[in-house]
Amino acid sequence: MDHKLIYYIVLAATVAAAFWKGARSEKWGAVTALAGSVASTVTAFNANWSGLIVQLLLVDLMVLASFWWLALNSRRFWPYWVTGWQLVAVLVHLQRALFADILPEPYALMTMYLAYPTLLLILYASMQHGPQDRSSPC
pLDDT in tens, 90-117: 999 998 889 888 888 888 888 888 899 9
pLDDT of 113 reads 87
- The 3-state DSSP composition of the chain as helix, strand, coil percent (nearest 5) reads 80, 0, 20
Sequence-ordered list of residues with C-beta below 8 angstroms from that of 92, at least 6 positions apart, any chain: 107, 110, 111, 114
pLDDT of 138 reads 57
**pLDDT band for position 58 (cuts 50, 70, 90):** very high
Sequence-ordered list of residues with C-beta below 8 angstroms from that of 111, at least 6 positions apart, any chain: 40, 44, 56, 60, 89, 92, 93
